[in-house]
Structure 1
Amino acid sequence: MKAIICYLSYSGNTEEVAELLKEQLKASDIDIDMHSIGYGVVPNLFEYDLIFIGTFTWDRGSTPEEMKDFAKEVGGKPNNVYVFGSGDTQFGGDELFCNAVEKLVNFYNSGYPGLKIEQSPRGSQEQLVSKWLEGVLEHAEGKNIRS
């Protein structure tokens, strides 16, 4: 099985989540590629069994422009996308918390809830990452993505 983790991170929080996912996927014997959005050529996402897309939420609930550009450059909507992201409730409260994650889940018709992390995934939030990934792998198995 082959997976890719594509992420956009300014502060490093979303990148930390991406790295945690990478470690845990490797432990499950899944081949992982990483792609930092905004750097280099956009990979062909249709070559992957699992696609993880990570973003932060910007400007009171907005999706960053680089993420929007990435979605356009992909050239279609793969059906095996799982979305994660970081946010901060101090900018818009619970209503706008990780709103970009919700927007991308809807855009890609993910069929699985996005992972929302308050700022950094350190401490107890590491368990949220692990639990979410377990659910993703079960979901993928149910869709016969994972062999």
Structure 2
Amino acid sequence: MNILIAYISMTGRNKKIAEHLADYLEEHNADVTLEQMIDTDAFDLDSYDAVIIETYTYNDGEVPDEAKDFYDDLEDVDLKRTKFAVLGSSSKEHLHFGRAVDYFTMRLNSSNGEQVSDSVKIDQDPNEDDFKRVDQLGNYVLKSLNKD
């Protein structure tokens, strides 16, 4: 099982979550590539068995500037039914809580990806319950790959 976790992190919060998820998946025998989204080529996503995208939501519910090129490239990518999941942190104090997670989920679906888990939105710093939801997302990805 070859899984990519591509993340974008401004405060380090998403990096911490991505590292937790990578460790969890590796404990379950997955081969994980963990990289920042700015270093990820959207046109290579279909070479993975599954892709997990992690983003924060910027300003008024926007995709972060550092993720825009990647996000825009997804419009021209055919994921060829590559399995995917999306998660990210945001703040419930903002009107558009986690909106970038929604944008990435819609874009991956419209790029012919196969969503295997509900998206996970975390309010600011993750707590124990949030990490359990992250692990559950990981389980859904693993189960979807074990079916094949």
Q: TM-score range by the shorter chain?
A: 0.7 to 0.9
Q: Percent identity?
A: 26
| Deviation (angstroms), 1:35 | 1.2
TM-score, structure 1 as length reference: 0.83
Alignment partner of 1:127 is 2:132: yes
- Write the deviation string for residues 27-82 of structure 1: whole angstroms up to 9, x where unpaired: 111111111122x4637222110111110011121111222211334650423221
Match of 1:86 among 79, 89, 111: 89
Unaligned runs of 5+ in 1: none
The 5 Å alignment of 1:1-147 reads: 1-38=1-38, 40=39, 42=41, 44-73=44-73, 75-78=76-79, 79=81, 80-92=83-95, 96-109=96-109, 110-111=114-115, 112-142=117-147, 144=148
1:41 to 1:16, Cα distance in 2 relative to 1, 3 A: closer
Question: For the residues of structure 2 that align with 1:63 and 1:72, how far apart are their CA atoms?
Answer: 10
Distance (whole Å) between structure 2 residues aligned to residue 77 and residue 35 of structure 1: 21
Is the partner of 1:84 in helix, strand or coil?
A: strand
Per-residue deviation, residues 73-119 of structure 1 (Å, max 9, x unmatched):
46504232211111001122xxx211111111111115332111111
Structure 2 stretches of 5 or more lacking a match? Answer: none
Q: Is the 8 A contact 1:16 1:120 kept in 2?
A: no
Which is helix-richer, 1 or 2? 2
Instruction: Please give the secondary structure, in 2, of the residue aligned with 1:51.
Output: strand
* Equivalent pair of 1:89/1:97 in contact (CA under 8 Å): yes
Separation in 1, partners of 2:27, 2:84: 20
2:128 partner letter: G
> How many residue pairs end up in the alignment?
139
Q: TM-score, normalization: structure 2? A: 0.83
RMSD: 1.9
SS at match of 1:58: coil
Distance 1:125 1:82 in 2: 16
